[in-house]
Structure 1
């Protein structure tokens, strides 16, 4: 969020776009000359973009001279190739895409039914995440479900991390989601809750209920 917010400054955004679109690394002087701004201003904005890991620094000697007396290396800037995004409320379309791609690959590799493959890979990913989180409510919060107590011992989900996909491909995405959450419960070794459908109160197709009260 800090990285995205840092691009809210119009000068910083222009500077980032300049470095990102350049075919080669740029120096402070290059940036200052292109944007027509003082080096001191450019330096401050470049430092912020490096701090937020939107740009990376490299040092290289410019020109043909090498060896002693050829001068100090120049500080140069290039765009970091990491992808940065933010959404409010939180969405995880990358997770859904990864699971769907893995399911297709598994189906191709072993000839299994695609729906079965999707259920398997989603359960396995949920189990891995559940084991890492150790607590189902922590996992739900970290994955963007916005869990809240329902007042009777269960939990509703105020957010669907796959919202747009679920609206267009309801059966596929809700099946994926159910397998993912089922795997998460197993991975957390949670013996206190079951999954139950919930199409009315939550923004998610599922909710947690106390064991035996499904």
Structure 2
């Protein structure tokens, strides 16, 4: 998965964006010559931009001989193809795919009791993610910040979460989404080894429905 802001910066150039769009819409790996013709630029400039897109994690590159080229005859051209599932950037940060994955897994896992299964799976997902972040050296605040919750400690030994990564869904299905969020954050804290930090539901307008209470 490419760093999103690096990828956004890479696509700021119109020629580079046109090359990326062309490669994504093809059903075959694209050579530098084909990309240059499609964008109406020189082969050298196309090669420069294509390699920048590779550096940003948006394309993959490899060498592939044309099907009509005899084996061992000449150098294989460099070809490009899309990398990953695409790119989505929101400000403030949203993570709707996380809720979607939990709900889809819950329906498959226990369709007759999908709501209970979703809360259980949300806790498991948070716990697994927290354990991985702990191995990377993240503490509670850095983990929450990286997930887009915008945590800010206050003088009352609370951590207020100023952004809800599930905002639009929470507005429409408050009880369901806030319950999943609470289960996810409880699991996340457990995975981080911060079980003494309490996640509790405390809805505030325009912010996350969960706040954290730090140990005294």
Do they superpose with TM above 0.5? yes
- SS of structure 1 residue aligned to 2:110: helix
Deviation at 1:58, TM superposition (A): 2.4
How far apart in 2 are the matches of 1:142 and 1:190? 17
Deviation at 1:147, TM superposition (A): 0.4
Task: Show CA shifts across 1:92-151 (max 9, x none).
Answer: 11111111111111213xx5x222111111111122223333433232122111100121
How far apart in 1 are the matches of 2:209 and 2:38? 52
| Partners of 1:156 and 1:201 within 8 A in 2 | no
Over the residues paired in the alignment, what is the CA RMSD in angstroms? Answer: 2.1
| Deviates most, 132-141 or 179-188 | 132-141
How far apart in 2 are the matches of 1:191 and 1:87? 30
- SS of structure 1 residue aligned to 2:200: strand
Identify the match of residue 191 of structure 2 among 170, 187, 191. 187
How far apart in 2 are the matches of 1:129 and 1:64? 48
The answer on 1:40 being equivalent to 2:19 is: no
Give the aligned length.
Answer: 208
Identify the match of residue 80 of structure 2 among 74, 77, 81. 77
- SS of structure 2 residue aligned to 1:30: helix
TM-score by length of 2: 0.87
The answer on 1:17 being equivalent to 2:14 is: no
| Partners of 1:156 and 1:202 within 8 A in 2 | no
The answer on 1:6 being equivalent to 2:10 is: yes
Any stretches of 5+ residues in structure 2 without a counterpart?
none
Task: Show CA shifts across 1:58-88 (max 9, x none).
Answer: 22222534145x3221112222243322221
Identify the match of residue 162 of structure 1 among 153, 163, 166. 166
Deviation at 1:210, TM superposition (A): 3.6
Any stretches of 5+ residues in structure 1 without a counterpart?
none
2:125 maps to which residue?
125
CA change 1:188–1:76 in 2 (3 A) is: closer
TM-score by length of 1: 0.87
- SS of structure 2 residue aligned to 1:45: helix
